[in-house]
Structure formats: structure tokens, C-alpha cells
Structure 1
């Protein structure tokens, strides 16, 4: 959500920068004493600790005016870069937002497309990410894996809680089970869905452990890389924090092919399917407001200072 305080803070900072640059450009460097400022109307150089007589610093009025005018012109066009830069960044974010909305629309269309047969070709699988596929076979429940911590993906609940300040969905795990495809003759990995923490033990949900042959529709997912601050997968405790398909395949003896089972695959008493979260981060509207807001604020300050000649 766009933060008004961020915009106000940025505008206040830039206003101080405008004023500070006005003072800074009148200063000059003394080889012996550091930064010195000339006190207008006198022949004294103002030092941080004492005033020193300015030797030979009295200039005639026309020369001083010319120097000051030249310095003001440099500062004027230098500070104009701030609103120009923020305007360029705002325009860039507009283009980024269009690109992201198009990507989201394509992803949603792909997820809701008709299922196609699963392929074992790695090159084709890459192009099938988020594509629904059909498989037929049976589960091997003796080699379950658990991705933790996870919360239930429930679009209806998330829509209800959208206006709440806080919510505490139950924590649990996604159950990953090897699935032998009888039509392809290979074993793949299937995310059967979410179970609460108290149901992670298979013995507590035996009614949901289907052992017969069945048809399944799932969403193709690819391997993940570990993000910052995400723990490493703990293979000895069978606790996984991200999808490392190569490691999961080695542990279970399956192919590095991964499906998220759809909601229709849910069996009473078993994991809840349909745990594919189809979202892409889209904060470009916030960035657009921020950059164009800063552009408007700094443009006003620049116009007031250098066109209207009014103090800030």
C-alpha cells in the first residue's frame, strides 16, 4: 500500500537539500583552515571557531554580482535534474506496471487452461510451468516429504480477511508424495496438499491415504532456489523449506517432475489439494505515485526558488 509518509518525508528532505545547496555553493575551500564562508557586507571569513580577516577579498560590486549570478545558474540547472530524474523513474514504473499486468493475465489464463498430457521431456516441462496436466497412476505413501511451514491456500478465506488488520491462519505442511505414472512408466512427485501440523503424521489421516489407481490433474511446478533468510532443507528430519526437485528426487527415487494436485483431488480426511498460489508481486502503482509525487513536489520547489525568486 502506498505510504503518504514516505512521500512527505522525501519532499521534506529535498526541500532541505535545495536550501543546503544554496549555502554550499557559496562556500570555498581554504588550504589551511578547511571550509570558510564570507560574511556578506564585511571583509571577514567565517571559520567554524573564529573569524579571520580577509586579505585582499574586497571585490567591486559588479564582479561579485557576476560571480554570484554564474553560481546561481549552475545550481539552478543542477537542481532541475531532481524533478527530471523522478519523472523519468515514474514513467519507467508505468511501463513496468503494464508489463507485470500482462504477465499476470497470461499466468492466470495458463492456470485455468484445459489439462494436457504430462511429458517427461525436461525441455517441454520448462515451457509447461503452471500448465494443468493429467496423469494416471498410484501413490507411494511410504516416502512422504513435508514442506514446512505452510498455510492453507484458500482464496475465499483470503478474500474475507482482506480488510482485517491481522489474521492467524493455521500453520502446517504440504505433503509431497511419489506418484507412479502407469501410462508413462515413471515416478513423479505430487504435492497432495495442505495438512495442519497435528495431521502431519500419516497415521492420523489413514482415511485420506488412497492406495488405488486413480486419475489426477495437477499444475506443473519447477524447482526453486533458496531465498534469503529461508532455512536450508533438513533431509535427516524430512523437513523441506523450498522445492529442491533434484534433492527430492534423490531421496524418493522419483524423477525431478513436480505437480501441485488440484482441489478436486482432495480426499476426505487427507491433504487439501489446490495449493498453487498464483500471485506475482506487483507494487508498481505505489512506485508510480511515489516518483510522480516527488517530481511534483521538487518541481514546485524549483519553480518557487528560481522562477518566482521566493525563499523556501
Structure 2
């Protein structure tokens, strides 16, 4: 009996120690478990907040697309209005009553496309040729706008020194267009008038060579753009240039009225394009972020 009692006491003591140790271990583990749960909760909240912030940024960033296209469309509306006013101004200038041609080239800097008149004689021995050129025909050009090929003939514009008897100076006059087979003066002798005539024309200023336009070939008398300084130096004229109007055409000579005053006005196409993109992207943004429709 005594041995059994001793065994019982040892067993009970061992169980108490184990229970106490488990209690202590559990008491120490609970705070750590709460800490882990709290930390995990904070991390999940941070991830969710970061995801929400990223979605918000993406949402408002994409809104820049319809806003930008709307701004571009509005800008094209203003550009179209500016172009229409410019076309109207050019039309008004080229149809106004002609004024006397000033003798000072500097006065002409503000008179481009202005109609002027003067009297004098042509010096046909110093003709210059701007080529290749097609005849100006506003109605035909309007019909063929945007087409790859053109039905117009190819020829040249004849530039002739003109001594102004009323001013005592020599200027350059674009007498007009001649077809290729009529470039040489001997093929159109009837139009090489020698008497004094009145010329009404439109003031033009010098041109800068555009990209892909060949350089002027002075030796071969082939001019590709209007270089007034070089032309004036070669012919001994003042750097004053006018396009003779159609009424100044001499029978058998070049056809006057070769001033192109038509300007490209494609702004309406741009307006429709930008506003169309604005409408489409606005709908996509609204469907994606407001109504939550899957696109």
C-alpha cells in the first residue's frame, strides 16, 4: 500500500507540473497569436488600400484621353475659323480695286496679294521660266482635291522684266502660264507685244525653297521657286514681283491669272475625328468605371 501511495503522489505531481507548464506556455502564446493576427490584419488592410489607390489613379489617368481629344477638337474649331477668315481676307484682297504700284520694294512687304496696276513695256529678251507648272483652275482643282492623279497640263510660268514708264523702274511680271510646247518665245511670237501696256496684277513676295523642291538652275533658266533676289540680279530688275491677272492676258501670249489663293481647309475632318474619339473614349470610361460594364 505504501508503494502504491508513493506512485500515486509522483504521478499526480507530474501531471500538475505538466498542466502548469501547458498553462504557462498557453499564456505566453496568446499575446503572440493576437499580435500575429493584428499584424496580418494590418497588412491585408494596407494591401487593400494600396490596390484601391492604384485603381483610383488608373481611373482618373484614363480620363485624360477623352479630355485631351475634346481639347484638340475645340482647338481645331478655332483653327477652322481662323482659316476661313484668312481665305476671306485673301479673296477680298485679290478682288479689290487695284492701287498704284509703289516704287519702294519695302512698301510691298505688307501688300502681298494686294492688287496693283502700272504701265510700261516688256523686255522679252530676258524671260525666265518657273517650271513645271500647271494652269490655275480653281474649279478643276476643287474637283480633283485629294486625287492621286491630275488631268492638268504641265508647262511653265513666264516671268518677264517690265519697265514701268510711270515709275522709271523695272520689275518682274509673271505674265502667266504656257504649255510645254509653247515655252520657247518663237512659238508664241504673236503674244510678244512690244508696245506700252497697262498691267494689273497681284503682289507676290519671295519664296523660301521647300523641302524636296530642287534648287533653281540659273544656267538652264529653270526656276522651281520664286527667288526674287536672284531673279532681280540676273535681269537687272528691282526685287518687285507681280502676278498679272487674267484680264492682262495678251492674245497669243501666256495666260494670266496664275495666282493660287486657295488654302487647304481640312479642319472639319480633324474636328470630326477628335470629337469622335472623345465620344468613344468617354463612353468606354463611363462603362468601365461608373456602370462597371465589362468591355
**TM-score over 0.5 for the alignment?**
yes
Which residue of 2 is the match for residue 205 of structure 1?
Answer: 188
Aligned length, in residue pairs: 256
Give the alignment partner of residue 65 of structure 1, picking from 48, 60, 64.
48
Aligned equivalents of 2:128, 2:148: Cα separation in 1? 34
Give the alignment partner of residue 89 of structure 2, picking from 106, 109, 113.
106
Distance verdict in 2 for CA 1:175–1:58, change over 3 Å: farther
Which residue of 2 is the match for residue 249 of structure 1?
Answer: 232
Which residue of 2 is the match for residue 195 of structure 1?
Answer: 178
Aligned equivalents of 1:115, 1:187: Cα separation in 2? 19
Which residue of 2 is the match for residue 171 of structure 1?
Answer: 154
Q: What are the Cα deviations for residues 46-100 of structure 1, in whole angstroms up to 9, with x where unaligned?
A: xxxxxxxxxxx99965443322211100100111111111111111111111111
Q: Which runs of 5+ in 2 are unaligned?
A: 1-39
Aligned equivalents of 2:142, 2:154: Cα separation in 1? 18
Taking structure 2 as the reference length, what is the TM-score of the superposition? 0.82
Higher normalized helix content (fraction of residues): 2
Which residue of 2 is the match for residue 77 of structure 1?
Answer: 60
Distance verdict in 2 for CA 1:196–1:94, change over 3 Å: same
Which residue of 1 is the match for residue 206 of structure 2?
Answer: 223
Distance verdict in 2 for CA 1:159–1:104, change over 3 Å: closer
Distance verdict in 2 for CA 1:158–1:88, change over 3 Å: closer
Note if 1:297 corresponds to 2:280: yes
Q: Which runs of 5+ in 1 are unaligned?
A: 1-56
SS at match of 1:212: coil
Note if 1:308 corresponds to 2:291: yes
SS at match of 1:120: coil
Which residue of 1 is the match for residue 7 of structure 2?
Answer: none
Which residue of 2 is the match for residue 115 of structure 1?
Answer: 98
Note if 1:144 corresponds to 2:127: yes
Which residue of 2 is the match for residue 5 of structure 1?
Answer: none
RMSD of aligned Cα (Å): 2.0
Taking structure 1 as the reference length, what is the TM-score of the superposition? 0.78
Give the alignment partner of residue 258 of structure 2, picking from 254, 262, 275.
275
Aligned equivalents of 1:263, 1:196: Cα separation in 2? 16
Structure with max Cα Rg:
2
Q: What are the Cα deviations for residues 253-289 of structure 1, in whole angstroms up to 9, with x where unaligned?
A: 0000001011111122211011011122222112111
Task: Compute the displacement of 1:232 (Å).
Answer: 0.6
Aligned equivalents of 2:146, 2:72: Cα separation in 1? 31
SS at match of 1:282: coil
SS at match of 1:86: helix
